[in-house]
Chains A and B, each alone.
Chain A
Amino acid sequence: MTPLWLSHFTATSSIGCGLEQTLAALRECRSGLAPCSFDTVDLATVIGEVTGVDAVSLPAHLADFDCRNNRLALLGLMQDGFDEAVRAAIARYGAQRVGVFLGTSTAGILQTELAYRRRDPQTGALPADFIYGTTHNVFSVADFTRRYFGLTGPAVVVSSACSSSARVFASARRMMASGLIDAAVVGGVDTLCLTTLYGFNSLGLMSAEACRPFDAQRNGISIGEAAAFALLEHAPRDPDADAVLLRGTGESSDAYHMSSPHPEGLGARLAMESALNMAGLQPADITYINLHGTATPSNDAAECKAVQHVFGTRTPCSSTKGATGHTLGAAGGVEAVICALALQHGLLPAGLNTRQLDPALELDYLLENREQQVKHVLSNSFGFGGTNCSLIFSRAG
């Protein structure tokens, strides 16, 4: 592929609003996970909640979009001058030539969960103030974003569970290469809701403590929420040395099971190999792998086998979900931004909360931050339904 430039990017998660706080948290090995006191949830677990989401208010003309997910989207867009950068891109390219590609798994379904508590006792009807299309529906976050910026071109949501906001990079890459658009707002937004908290609990996949990826005693995920965005543009002829480029996207399906990964990590392997192939890179070229690393016993074991098959055991890697929690449909976007920070600041982030590495998972899993030149990184995102996506980002110089 022709490399694409992440001309601006930003992330808001439980470890911080914007790049400065996110980078500081990574440098200080600070986790955003805390005991769950979200809504009326009565589960013994920890979550990565973003503070201040409730205080965000949407512009009056977009009041119909008001829900936790779109509030977090707006909070995310306001960081790091991202809003201004998109508006400048629109001025350069035109409102129809900037696409919107966002990932989410549950969008504003919390709004429906809350509305179901207020059904009419006689008729069962939902309350009159409930609006489905601009909150619950998965498209709502992309629709909100395009209306917020006054964009008129292609806009879509990718909703493939936990690979959603990695796959948006692939869809945007294709749309840009096709010539239909010149730039793309990509990213992911997912927020806490009861469906995912009680759902992962029902599967026995949720930890009672802060998740411990690749630990011998790992016992499940910690759910988080986040908004992450990047502005993709064609790379300038002579980019700055620390410019971050999208070099490869790899996608595959497991064709195996709805909620368990292929035990040998076959689909994951295909995704990584196809990303490397598209980037024209060898496994040895990759400085760091940001693992999917959810901290469930089977996910980490399958991903480890896949990584070993493609890379061997010596490529430094970690899961940053011990810091942010698993932000589900936003995870690919958040971890793309963490990869971009790794490239620009020469920081390989440690995996947090992991006390005793699982001896069965032989990889160079980082338990402490490492500072070094970083040239190429790969990020993995896998999801329910056996959906896999790997992305490769590089420094321009």
Chain B
Amino acid sequence: MHTLTAYIEGIGLLGPGFNNWPDGQAVLRGQQTYQPARTVLPLPALLPAAERRRSGVIVRLTLATGLEAINSAGLDAATLPMVFSASGGDGENCHAICEMLASDDRQISPTRFHNSVHNAAAGYWSIATGAMSPSTVLGAFDACFGAGLLETLTQVVVDDTRVVFLACDSSYPEPLHSARPIPDAFGVALVIAPQRSPCTLAKIAVSLTDADADRLADAALERLRSTIPAARGLPLLRGLALGGGHRMVLDYLDSTRLEVMIKP
């Protein structure tokens, strides 16, 4: 079985009851009780004022988590390729467009249209950070975390480069919410490098497996993991929070999962 090995250098986290990685670490270690609360999304300071105000949930998630991970590793966002994986794009915007297209006035606005592409958040990311490096924008429904992690590791290992990986999901309003009930916004970012460095937090080795995905013991955290695709990465974050060596199975497709080993 082939294994892809790399080194995690930075972590960003934002979600219901998770305001950043340091706070999240304490919860995932079990030092603090998990307190579910609506996700608090900071305004993206790097965007020009007008775009900052208009920015949607997924753009705010992307910038907040990505920059947290990169800043904590002491790296420059402008130099890093990014892999962005999400089940859907801007849900509010998608709903507004579908509503207009079903009405007598189909003249949707240009801004709504360019914000409707799945790679809108990646586009704003490169504009905000000045990164001309590649961005790879993926969709894999419930398998987004695993698909993004695999793509990231192949970039790191094959193209021998540092990559920032972002898995971000947000909610649709009704009526789409009932058809795709993602409860809240959740984003996780990992900076992953091909070699060990002074900023290495953990070594990660990933391979495909038929084993079932690990669940989380805490019922509220498990609910997050199972209802938000990006939160399928929580068992990995828990391992990283605990430190030391851990083996875990992360959810991916119905036909295959990811076996992940982490070590200091």
Contacts and interface: CB of A to CB of B under 8 A. Distances in A.
A203 B153 contact: no
Nearest to B113: A199
Contact of A203 (B113, B123, B124, B180): B113
B132 interface: yes
A86 to B, nearest CB: 16
B150 interface: yes
A253 B147 contact: no
B98 interface: yes
B123 A194 contact: no
Nearest to A178: B154
A384 B114 contact: yes
Nearest to B128: A255
Nearest to A112: B98
Contacts of B174: 124-125
A139 interface: yes
B139 A139 contact: yes
Contacts of B137: 158-160, 387
Contacts of A254: 126, 132
B109 interface: yes
A119 B179 CA distance: 13
Contacts of B147: 154-156
B124 A258 contact: yes
A157 B101 contact: no
Given A112-B176, A116-B98, A252-B132, A157 B123 contact: no
Interface stretch (A126-134, A282-290, A314-322, A353-361): A126-134
Interface residues of B, number: 62
B43 interface: no
Contacts of B116: 195, 199
Contacts of B115: 258
B133 A253 contact: yes
Interface in B151-206: 151, 153-155, 157-159, 174-176, 178-180
A266 B151 contact: no
Contact of B123 (A137, A170, A270, A384): A384
A178 B140 contact: no
A137 B141 CA distance: 7
A304 interface: no
Given A154-B147, A195-B113, A384-B119, A255 B131 contact: yes
A180 interface: yes
A364 interface: no
Nearest to A143: B141
B120 A139 contact: no
A200 interface: yes
Given A155-B140, A158-B136, A387-B135, A256 B256 contact: no
A200 B113 contact: yes
A175 interface: yes
A168 to B, nearest CB: 10
B138 A156 contact: yes
B239 interface: no
B108 A198 contact: yes
B208 interface: yes
B176 A126 contact: yes
A270 B135 CA distance: 13
Contact of A126 (B4, B158, B175): B175
B141 A258 contact: no
Interface in B85-137: 87-88, 94, 97-99, 101-102, 106-110, 112-120, 122-124, 126-127, 129-137
A174 interface: yes
A387 to B, nearest CB: 6
Contacts of A266: 132
B136 A251 contact: yes
Interface string A135-160: 00111101100100001111111111
Given A113-B98, A124-B175, A125-B178, A255 B129 contact: yes
Contacts of B107: 198, 202
A128 to B, nearest CB: 10
Contacts of B179: 126, 130-132
B2 interface: yes
Contacts of B117: 105, 159-161, 383-385
Nearest to B81: A251
Contacts of A151: 255
A251 to B, nearest CB: 4
Given A116-B99, A194-B101, A267 B175 contact: no
B45 interface: no
B180 to A, nearest CB: 5
B253 interface: yes
A199 B132 contact: no
Interface string A23-52: 000000000000000000010000000000
Nearest to A120: B175
Q: Which of B99, B124, B256 has the most CB of A within 10 A?
A: B256
A386 interface: yes
Given A126-B176, A180-B2, A270-B132, A174 B256 contact: no
A270 to B, nearest CB: 6
A136 to B, nearest CB: 8
Interface in A370-397: 383-387
B127 A257 contact: yes
A171 B119 contact: no
A77 B124 CA distance: 35
B101 to A, nearest CB: 5
A177 interface: yes
A158 B84 CA distance: 10
Contacts of A252: 132-134
Interface in A188-218: 194-195, 198-200, 202-204
Given A252-B134, A259-B110, A387-B119, A178 B139 contact: no
Nearest to A328: B117
B208 A203 contact: no
A126 B143 contact: no
6 contacts: A132-B179, A139-B87, A177-B158, A194-B101, A202-B109, A259-B113
